[in-house]
Amino acid sequence: MISVMNKESLIVGIVFGGASGEHDVSIKSAVNVINALRDKNNINRFKVVSFYIDKQGQWWTGSIAEEVLHKGASFNESKSIDQINFKGLDTLPQEIKKIQTWFPILHGPNGEDGTIQGFFKLTGKPFVGSGILGSALGMDKIAMKAAFHSAGLPQVKYCNAFANDLSDKKKLTLLVQQIESKLGYPCFIKPANLGSSVGITKAYNNSQILEGLRNAAKLDNRIVIEKSIQARELECAVLGKKEISTSCIGEVRYNSDWYDYETKYSGESSRVIIPAPISNKLSQEIRKLSLVACKAISVEGIARVDFFYEEKKNCLWINEINTIPGFTSKSMYPMLWEASGLNLSQLVARLVESASE
């Protein structure tokens, strides 16, 4: 149980939206989390204060933030400035001083990457999820892979590239040769610091590698290139700081070549199977490796750990960790906990509690 002084409810600051490509998903996630923290089981335990960060990075609270939640979409930017209660980053809402525990529901850069965690740390109040290091390592695929490698976690073959080097013809030729000889075709080219499959290319030939590198370079200086494997995609949810618990395993299946942006968000082309139809042995292995992965990159509190399973070869590879997984009605994280015995109401309460462990 949370220690609440004078039996008063704990004031929880939920921060959502964010200056990131995943802004709209964040709003959808925040609606579900806040509704669950305000439901009949939690209403006497928590007082939720909502903070909306718009796409330009400005903070809003009070009626504006509540309106965004109510609509489930960004507020009407055509509103005149005196109609709205403007709060910029230079004039952070006074309400931040009242907050006793922070809960970030921000996906992608400027929220999942250690930036907001640094701010929470400076307020001196506990927060849900990983700290600065775990968040930053969980966001950057190059750094994450290096840390996984040090921890001995199995990963598909990969190499790194940097956008700055692509304009140098010699370096580019060497890089493409390295990709072709070390990884072969097809291969995946990914900007290191994005999510939701944004900016990723699956390349089947030399010209697609060049195009993929150019696309990724527009979004990030840091680029990862990976050997493509034919694999099932399995995911495990983790929860808790003092002691990290793992959920049952879920599987994502889709009707496209790979799990790209359209497939992720179009609804009909993908489905989730929980629990994943896999052996008990494989499930235990995934849970064990999820904990190793969290430790390797200093992730705690909340995360979803994603794996590739090459069934024919019986090979399991770690793909990535998401340190602030989605909470939309179709999101794997809350579904995995529901199937593991924690409904959404219990899950969000448990997450808030975990902040002060």
Ligand X SMILES: Nc1ncnc2c1ncn2[C@@H]1O[C@H](COP(=O)(O)OP(=O)(O)O)[C@@H](O)[C@H]1O
Residue with tokens 């219990």: 346
Residue 228 in contact with ligand X, rule: CB under 6 A = yes
Q: Which is nearer to ligand X, 37 or 144 (CB)?
A: 144
Cβ–Cβ < 8 Å for 315, 337: no
CA atoms of 64 and 83, how far apart (whole Å) = 10
Q: Which is nearer to ligand X, 8 or 262 (CB)?
A: 262
Q: Which is nearer to ligand X, 68 or 194 (CB)?
A: 194
Count of residues of this chain found to bind ligand X when the rule CB under 6 A is applied: 19
Residue 307 in contact with ligand X, rule: CB under 6 A = no
Residue 200 in contact with ligand X, rule: CB under 6 A = yes
Q: Which is nearer to ligand X, 41 or 160 (CB)?
A: 160
How near is the Cβ of 157 to ligand X at its closest, in Å?
A: 9
Q: What is the DSSP letter of 9?
A: P
How near is the Cβ of 171 to ligand X at its closest, in Å?
A: 23
Full strand arrangement of the beta sheet holding 10-17? 59-60, 46-53, 10-17, 101-105
How near is the Cβ of 145 to ligand X at its closest, in Å?
A: 10
Cβ–Cβ < 8 Å for 312, 136: no
Residue 196 in contact with ligand X, rule: CB under 6 A = yes
CA atoms of 220 and 193, how far apart (whole Å) = 7
What is residue 119's three-state secondary structure?
Answer: helix
CA atoms of 95 and 62, how far apart (whole Å) = 9
Q: Which is nearer to ligand X, 50 or 319 (CB)?
A: 319
Cβ–Cβ < 8 Å for 293, 321: yes
Query: Which of 226, 251, 300, 353 is close enough to bind ligand X by CB under 6 A?
Result: 226
Q: What is the DSSP letter of 133?
A: H
Q: Which is nearer to ligand X, 216 or 244 (CB)?
A: 216
Helical H segments across 220-279, by residue range:
261-266
Residue 229 in contact with ligand X, rule: CB under 6 A = yes
Q: Which is nearer to ligand X, 167 or 255 (CB)?
A: 255
Residue 204 in contact with ligand X, rule: CB under 6 A = no
Query: Which of 259, 309, 327, 337 is close enough to bind ligand X by CB under 6 A?
Result: 259
Residue 296 in contact with ligand X, rule: CB under 6 A = no
* Interacting span for ligand X (CB under 6 A) from 101-109, 196-204, 205-213, 265-273: 196-204
Residue 319 in contact with ligand X, rule: CB under 6 A = yes
Q: Which is nearer to ligand X, 36 or 194 (CB)?
A: 194
Q: Which is nearer to ligand X, 2 or 143 (CB)?
A: 143
CA distances from 216 to 221, 231, 253 (A): 8, 23, 25
Cβ–Cβ < 8 Å for 139, 324: no
Residue 219 in contact with ligand X, rule: CB under 6 A = no
Per DSSP, the residues of 268-292 read: TTEEEESS-S--HHHHHHHHHHHHH
Residues listed for the chain: 357
The tokens of 59 are what?
């903070």
* Interacting span for ligand X (CB under 6 A) from 142-150, 176-184, 222-230, 344-352: 222-230
The pair phi, psi for residue 50, each rounded to 5°, is -95, 140
How near is the Cβ of 185 to ligand X at its closest, in Å?
A: 12
The tokens of 116 are what?
């907001």
Residue whose C-beta lies closest to ligand X: 259
Query: Which of 195, 212, 326, 334 is close enough to bind ligand X by CB under 6 A?
Result: 195
The tokens of 50 are what?
């909502």
Query: Which of 22, 113, 220, 233 is close enough to bind ligand X by CB under 6 A?
Result: 233
Cβ–Cβ < 8 Å for 270, 233: no
Residues that bind ligand X (CB under 6 A): 156, 188, 190, 194-197, 200, 226-229, 231, 233, 258-259, 306, 319-320
